[in-house]
Amino acid sequence: MRIAFYAPLKPPDHPVPSGERQIARLFLRALEAAGHEPFLASRFRPLDKRGDPCRQQRLRTLGGRLAERLEARLPAFDVWFTYHLYYKAPDWLGPRLAAARGAAYWVAEASHAPKRAGGPWDIGHRAVGDAIIRADRLFCLNPNDRACLAPLAAPDRLIDLAPFLDASAWRAASCRGDPPLLVTVAMMREGAKLASYRRLGAALAALDDLPWRLLVVGDGPAREQVEAALPAGRTCWLGRRSEAELPAILANADLFVWPAEREAIGMALLEAAAAGLPVVAADTDGVPAVVAHGETGLLAPAGDAGAFADCLRALLADPDRRREMGAAARKRVLARHDIARAAAVLA
């Protein structure tokens, strides 16, 4: 089928790397692997980060005008596919254009939070609710989203789709470092990312008595705060690296560490698993869908730096267990999270 693809929060060719951009790109590849013909329908970003109703109203108006133009200009398509329905960046295009063209409307990673009703993002919240009701298929990457979607969508429209990547791009890590090499990969920005870096720093501060080194891949506007949060003497800063460089970096590590505060999916955790690395993360949001506690890594209670340090200590002291978990992690990715599995669901 011919599929018009749209990612309102961040298009797949956006210049700034992120998990959002990466997943959008993976969806395009998975749709192709499923035998479809996807094309990028629009780069329109109706994003309002501050909760400004006036801005949301302007974006809704702009989206309506753009939809009118696209209705006349877009090539024929059978399905409109929107990746990530989010109240801060709702889909002002897909429902209207799918209806105008008599096409199906598919959505991946939709979430709906009733607590946003009547708040500063009420316009976006209501638009997301309307789009969920309109959707013919809703692909759920985070199992936690099912509960919020169920009141708006019939069960037969909710389709589980495990987070995925191309496992063939990753090779098994050596997990033989002396001292063990910890690695984390994340953007450096305010909010949940900075909170995770600070939680990681607090946990590592409790492990001065053990040998280890930390490798950090990432950059961003909060780099100064991140550098202040992590132990200077044991940390190596690699800065921003391309997706093509990451497999080699992770292959030389022993353990992936990332608290993952408020991570809906955690693609970096999934990449670590594909590389055969055990993971220490927080038991929060979508992380348990990617990291199996006690099997492919260890999960600490969210916000508990002490428990996070205990998990790190347990694996730092047991190289055999690290290797067993790393092998189990890669096996699990191949069985449940490879792009071929996603393509089968999207076919």
Report pLDDT digits (tens) over 114-158. Answer: 899 899 999 999 999 999 999 999 999 998 888 889 999 999 999
Percent of the chain with pLDDT over 70: 99
Average pLDDT over residues 5-17: 93
| 91 close to 109: Cβ distance less than 8 angstroms | no
> Alpha carbon 280 to chain centroid distance?
17
**Residue 173: pLDDT over 80:** no
d(CA 318, CA 43): 48
Average pLDDT, the chain: 94
pLDDT tier at 19 (50, 70, 90 boundaries)?
confident
Q: Domains of the chain (ranges plus CATH)?
A: 2-161 (3.40.50.2000), 167-336 (3.40.50.2000)
At 333 the pLDDT is 95
**Residue 174: pLDDT over 70:** no
b/e map 109-131, b = 16+ CB within 10 Å: bbbbeeebeeeebebbbebbbeb
**Residue 198: pLDDT over 90:** yes
d(CA 12, CA 33): 17
Q: Which two tokens stand for residue 169?
A: 């791009």
| 305 close to 312: Cβ distance less than 8 angstroms | no
At 261 the pLDDT is 79
**Is the dihedral angle over the CA atoms 203, 183, 20, 155 positive or is it negative?**
negative
Residue 302 or 97, more confident: 97
Angle, CA 338 vertex, CA 315 and CA 23 arms, to 5°: 95
d(CA 104, CA 99): 8
At 77 the pLDDT is 98
pLDDT tier at 228 (50, 70, 90 boundaries)?
very high
Dihedral of the alpha carbons of 101, 107, 10, 303, in degrees to the nearest 10: 170
